[in-house]
């Protein structure tokens, strides 16, 4: 009798479900069995916050594919409410337990895929398990949150953690009419961003009525006499809340793998190679639980995002089917929308590069409109571009705005993937009609500004170094603009008067030029450089200064 190759998959959502479906397309003969300890497979975790906020009204919309669909369309066997509890790598079996009946059985495998995801971090603090304290990972979690809000007529919430999931929950709790406080240990929300890029977002959150309680961690949660909650921060500050959302990050679910002796990497994920194979030839790992390579820093990382999980599932399936597919690594391309603002990033941040010991890079800031200025409704996109010096290779980009933000980051993400340079961005041929972009798209502009830096046309100064030397800061905006707000210590010499008055400027000091967003200062830089002055453009102008000041840099 010919025995079919048996492929078992633990975890049936993003990585596991993609792997199963792809494998069936490549291998009609394999027996493919998926186990998930939850009641669903292939559900939209990314949609969960929007179900809480009533944007998605019908819970069934979250179910991307049902066990029946897997069975009928792909002949894939799905076992929900079935938890894998052990792996015997010598015998090539796993132990699974039916979570409803408690019965335990063994399942044989030829290939095993681990796709167990990552669990929300629940620090062992007093009150962390009280009723009304929720993490958001599954459909039942969101069902409980919805019920709690309705049954208690909840009016206030504290969201602990200001990352992606925390912010999405903030937006959706506000949609439900709750007043929301964010309790965040760091001085900024959205930790992957550099602090000055998070500043406009923080201002927007506050302007939208979100209370930000920063630089303070969670200490404990208690129930009050009226069955509400009070969150006490490490500083002793007490925040009243009808419910608490824990969104302080996730931790790869590696226990099964660890106990089975599979290698665990420095970032706490299951070690994988480019084919998503673990330290055991017969075992693959994908998704949030897997450790992968950061293509920019070359270091190992864990990146809990759905796109990489799906692609890794596909690569693992192809590897199991005997193909030589490879996962290229990750560059952390991500987007989040909150209360009308969009925040997106790809590649390395400045702090990430600094942490990785990368020195030879430069950064520029720009604030272009999301489409042509003459067409009504142009809104600024605050952008930061990081690139290596002198070769101009793009290292990362961050953008914050209301419209067209993720489109620009996606273009830059693709350029990074292709090993592109700032010269490629300058030369990129992109869509343009007035309501969509500009003849010089923000992506082109970013490339052109960076080219000016690399070829020496526009030496730049970093706002973070303001006040550290003896440079004279000259603001070239018009006097009324200068009067409305300026950099401390700056003098005003408008660009429109520069040709007649430039001789007033000292020749024995470096001159750092600034304006609104950096453009007029660029013109002034070119003029003064050609007249023998040592000049730098304070990149991104006063708009960037304000972001730095709001972020507390320079102090």
Residue nearest to ligand FAD according to CB distances in the complex: 287
Strand order in the sheet with 238-241: 218-223, 229-233, 238-241
Asked about 46 being catalytic, the answer comes back as yes
> Count of residues binding ligand FAD (CB under 6 A)?
32
How far apart are CB 412 and ligand FAD at their closest, in Å?
A: 17
263/116 Cα distance (integer angstroms): 16
272-291 mask for ligand FAD (x: CB under 6 A)? ---------------xxx--
222/205 Cα distance (integer angstroms): 27
* Selected range binding ligand FAD among 44-52, 62-70, 155-163, 464-472, rule: CB under 6 A: 44-52
> E strands along 348-422, which residues?
361-366, 381-388, 394-401
257/272 Cα distance (integer angstroms): 12
How far apart are CB 83 and ligand FAD at their closest, in Å?
A: 4
Residue 97 binding ligand FAD, by CB under 6 A: no
Residues near 366 by Cβ (< 8 Å), separated by ≥ 6?
Answer: 383, 385, 442, 445, 446, 449, 517, 518, 540
Which is closer to ligand FAD, CB of 118 or CB of 535?
A: 118
499/321 Cα distance (integer angstroms): 70
Candidate list 89, 137, 423, 520; residue touching ligand FAD; CB under 6 A: 137
DSSP states along 163-188: SHHHHHHHHHHHHTT-EEEEE-SSSS
Which is closer to ligand FAD, CB of 282 or CB of 509?
A: 282
The backbone torsions φ and ψ at residue 412, rounded to the nearest 5 degrees and listed phi first, read -65, -35
What Cα–Cα distance (Å) separates residue 489 from each residue in 285, 369, 479, 550?
56, 29, 15, 18
147-176 mask for ligand FAD (x: CB under 6 A)? ------------------x-----------
Residue 420 binding ligand FAD, by CB under 6 A: no
Taking each helix axis from N to C terminus, what angle separates 67-74 and 14-26, rounded to the nearest 10 degrees?
A: 10
293-322 mask for ligand FAD (x: CB under 6 A)? -----------xxxx-x-------------
How far apart are CB 219 and ligand FAD at their closest, in Å?
A: 25
Residue 260 binding ligand FAD, by CB under 6 A: no
How far apart are CB 171 and ligand FAD at their closest, in Å?
A: 12
β-pair type (394-401, 341-347):
antiparallel
What Cα–Cα distance (Å) separates residue 351 from each residue in 275, 386, 420?
30, 11, 21
290/309 Cα distance (integer angstroms): 9
Residue 140 binding ligand FAD, by CB under 6 A: no
Q: Of the residues 19, 46, 431, 515, which is catalytic?
A: 46
How far apart are CB 519 and ligand FAD at their closest, in Å?
A: 34
Candidate list 53, 116, 192, 447; residue touching ligand FAD; CB under 6 A: 116
Residue 84 binding ligand FAD, by CB under 6 A: yes
Q: Which residues bind ligand FAD (CB under 6 A)?
A: 10-11, 13-16, 35-38, 45-46, 48-49, 83-84, 115-117, 136-137, 165, 253, 256, 287-289, 304-307, 309
Residues taking part in catalysis: 46
């Amino acid at each position: 009798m010919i025995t079919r190759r048996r492929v078992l998959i633990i975890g049936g959502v993003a990585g596991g479900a993609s792997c199963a479906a792809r494998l069936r397309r490549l291998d009609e003969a394999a027996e493919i069995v998926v186990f998930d300890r939850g009641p669903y497979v292939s559900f939209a975790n990314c949609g969960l916050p929007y179900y809480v906020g009533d944007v998605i009204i019908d819970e069934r919309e979250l179910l991307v594919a049902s066990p029946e669909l897997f069975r009928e369309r792909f002949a894939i066997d799905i076992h929900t409410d079935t938890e894998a509890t052990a792996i015997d790598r010598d015998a090539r079996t796993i132990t699974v337990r039916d979570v409803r009946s408690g019965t335990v059985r063994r399942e044989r495998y030829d290939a095993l895929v681990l796709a167990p995801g990552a669990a929300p971090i629940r620090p062992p603090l007093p009150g962390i398990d009280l009723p009304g304290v929720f993490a958001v990972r599954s459909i039942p979690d969101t069902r409980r949150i919805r019920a709690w809000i309705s049954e208690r007529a909840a009016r206030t919430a504290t969201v602990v953690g200001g990352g992606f999931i925390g912010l999405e929950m903030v937006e959706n709790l506000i949609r439900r009419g709750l007043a929301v406080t964010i309790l965040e240990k760091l001085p900024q929300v959205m930790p992957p961003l550099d602090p000055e890029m998070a500043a406009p977002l923080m201002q927007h959150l506050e302007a939208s009525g979100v209370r930000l309680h920063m630089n303070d961690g969670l200490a404990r949660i208690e129930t009050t006499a009226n069955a509400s909650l009070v969150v006490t921060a490490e500083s002793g500050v007490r925040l009243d809340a009808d419910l608490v959302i824990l969104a302080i990050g996730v931790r790869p679910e590696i226990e099964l793998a660890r106990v089975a002796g599979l290698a665990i990497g420095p970032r706490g994920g299951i070690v994988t190679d480019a084919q998503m194979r673990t330290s055991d030839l017969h075992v693959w790992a994908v998704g949030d639980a897997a450790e992968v390579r950061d293509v920019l820093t070359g270091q190992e990382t864990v990146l809990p995002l759905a796109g990489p999980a799906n692609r890794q599932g596909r690569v693992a399936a192809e590897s199991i089917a005997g193909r030589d597919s490879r996962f290229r690594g990750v560059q952390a391309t991500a987007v989040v929308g909150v209360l009308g603002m969009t925040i997106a990033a790809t590649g390395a941040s400045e702090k990430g590069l600094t942490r990785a010991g990368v020195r030879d890079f430069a950064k520029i800031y720009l604030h272009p409109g999301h489409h042509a200025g003459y067409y009504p409704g142009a809104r600024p996109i605050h952008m930061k571009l990081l690139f290596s010096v002198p070769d101009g290779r793009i290292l990362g980009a961050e953008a914050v705005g209301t419209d067209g933000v993720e489109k620009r980051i996606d273009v830059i993400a693709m350029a990074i993937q292709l090993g592109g340079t700032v010269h490629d961005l300058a030369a990129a041929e992109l869509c343009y009609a007035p309501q969509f972009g500009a003849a010089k798209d923000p992506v082109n502009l970013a490339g052109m500004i960076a080219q000016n830096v690399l070829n020496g046309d526009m030496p730049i100064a970093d706002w973070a170094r303001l006040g550290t030397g003896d440079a004279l800061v000259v603001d070239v905006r018009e006097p009324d603009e200068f009067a409305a707000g300026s950099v401390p210590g700056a003098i005003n010499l408008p660009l429109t008067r520069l040709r007649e008055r430039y001789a007033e400027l000292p020749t024995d000091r470096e001159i750092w030029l600034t304006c609104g967003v950096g453009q007029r200062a660029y013109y002034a830089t070119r003029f003064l450089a050609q007249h023998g002055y040592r000049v730098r453009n304070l990149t991104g102008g006063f708009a960037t200064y304000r972001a730095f000041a709001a972020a507390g840099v320079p102090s």
